[in-house]
Amino acid sequence: MRQTLMIAAVLTATWTAPATAAQRPNIVMIMADDLGFADIGCYGSEIATPRLDRLADRGLRFTQFYNTAKCHSSRVSLLTGLYCDQAGGAKLNRGATIAEALGRAGYFTAMVGKWHLSRQPTDFGFDRYWGHLSGATNFFTGDGTFRLNGQPWPVPTALNGRPFYTTHAIGDFALRFLDEATDSKKPFLLYVAFNAPHYPLQAPEEDVKKYDGRYDIGWDRLRQQRHEKQVSSGLLPAKWKLSPRPSHVPAWNSLGPEERQWEADRMEVFAAMVDVLDENVGRLVDYLKKKDLLDDTLILFCADNGACPFERTRGREFKPWDPKSYWTYDASWAHVGNTPFRLYKQNQHEGGISSPLIVHWPKGLKTEPGSITRQPGHLIDFMATFVDLGKAKYPKQVGERKVDPLQGKSLAPIFAGKTRDPHGTLYFNFGTDRALRQGDWKLVSAKLGRWELFDLGKDRTETNDLSSEQPERVAAMAKEWFRIAEEVCRMNG
């Protein structure tokens, strides 16, 4: 893979689509669930993700792309181009969705997978929807929230000739909706929201056994291996030190043989879930290629938050291919998933908010195949990008909803190999975790703890807190965080 850094010489504040780019591209937006920054091959992982790696090899990877560190809030920002609270949270009562914006511009709009917000996707502009409204589900038996185009959908024991498994079913319905989109003769938006690899850790037996023994080396060595791969591949610079193992994660060698086996076993299941997700991404790409649509389709792949540290296992006595099982992993393996960063899902440190982002668009990308960009981006940028490329208008009102001004900025200049006029400020908040980024400076606090200050240009792994050296910068950035919380996100009203 060519690891060509995309470096632009000219700062462009405005953007005009090149005449040779695909006009009004099809868009396939893929989001994984609880996938860490380092959990796919082209971002450092040992997990087999050849289809995603191939998209990256022919496309563009971001190294500083941000989510919101939590499932539902990331979905709000992806859909609306607004910060979660600004959009009205799960109710979306101050935001329009990408489906509503593109649907008005003549796009066929469809979604498959996890919703995790109020009402249903068909209430927010999607012409087609199959999936579950819940935040998590049993991968083999589902739950009572599955819907097909607004109507209850009973989960069968088998689908299309094989035992029901949610990730495969997402692929099945994505292909079905692509057929309908193709027949419509319209450009299309397909939003694919995989529930994998969110807990419960469940996967078909044959997929789990592919990874038998792979994780016996433990999390300490594996994290080191992932970091070495990230540096040697050119994904990340060596100047950012690998953040240390936190005190709440035991050394692998301190565990007894039985506990090491249990820990290795559950990571094998996680790997299998990512592997199956990758397989279904490949099914979509193969379809687009077969239909001669791949060159004109913008494909984006990201994750909703960093790896998940929550230990919620029950049914440990059942195998992970038994529907009665409910395995999870905890902070120990999540620390590996977020290599080389600190902390996890829900935290606003880099481990919680850093997402892989792969962009593939043969007719639209003007970067060299396999390029890497260091320019920061955020989920709020997707709406602006799709409105820009889809020649749509951002709505001011949808029905009774008065829509807040768009917060995101189009990524199209980056796709063109230019330097985008960056966000002056990026705001982050979930619960009692909060952060603010201005240029390379980041202010961050976990669980209402004291503010920490980092220079991300020199120290993106957040190992050198500069707050005591620069109290004035801390005070000014904290003041701006509270202003955005109150005036933009209306957290007090």
> Which bin fits 450, alpha (ψ -120 to 50), beta or left (φ > 0)?
beta
Single-letter amino acid code for the residue at 58 = R
Selected catalytic residue, list 42, 72, 84, 116: 116
> For strand 108-114 and strand 128-132, is the pairing parallel, antiparallel, or unpaired?
parallel
Query: Is 116 among the residues known to form the active site?
Result: yes
> Which bin fits 370, alpha (ψ -120 to 50), beta or left (φ > 0)?
left
**DSSP summary character for residue 391:** T
Q: Are 378 and 428 in contact (CB under 8 A)?
A: no
Residue whose pair of structure tokens reads 């185009």 in the numeric block: 149
Give the DSSP H or E segment for 152: strand 151-152
List the beta bridge partners of residue 152.
Answer: 147
Those residues with Cβ within 8 angstroms of residue 279's Cβ, 6 or more apart along the chain or in another chain? 51, 171
> For strand 426-430 and strand 433-438, is the pairing parallel, antiparallel, or unpaired?
antiparallel
End-to-end Cα separation, the chain, in angstroms: 50
The CA distance from 305 to 316, in Å, is 25
**DSSP summary character for residue 41:** G
Residue 427's Cβ-count burial label (10 Å; 0-12, 13-18, 19+) is buried
Selected catalytic residue, list 71, 84, 302, 308: 71
Those residues with Cβ within 8 angstroms of residue 106's Cβ, 6 or more apart along the chain or in another chain? 186, 187
Query: Is 489 among the residues known to form the active site?
Result: no
Residue 254's Cβ-count burial label (10 Å; 0-12, 13-18, 19+) is exposed
Those residues with Cβ within 8 angstroms of residue 3's Cβ, 6 or more apart along the chain or in another chain? 233, 234, 235, 370, 372
Query: Coil, helix or strand for 357?
Result: strand
Structure tokens at 346: 């829900």
The CA distance from 436 to 484, in Å, is 10
Structure tokens at 417: 């190999």
> For strand 60-66 and strand 26-32, is the pairing parallel, antiparallel, or unpaired?
unpaired
Q: Are 387 and 393 in contact (CB under 8 A)?
A: yes
Q: How long, in residues, is the chain?
A: 493
Single-letter amino acid code for the residue at 15 = W
Q: Which residues are catalytic?
A: 71, 116
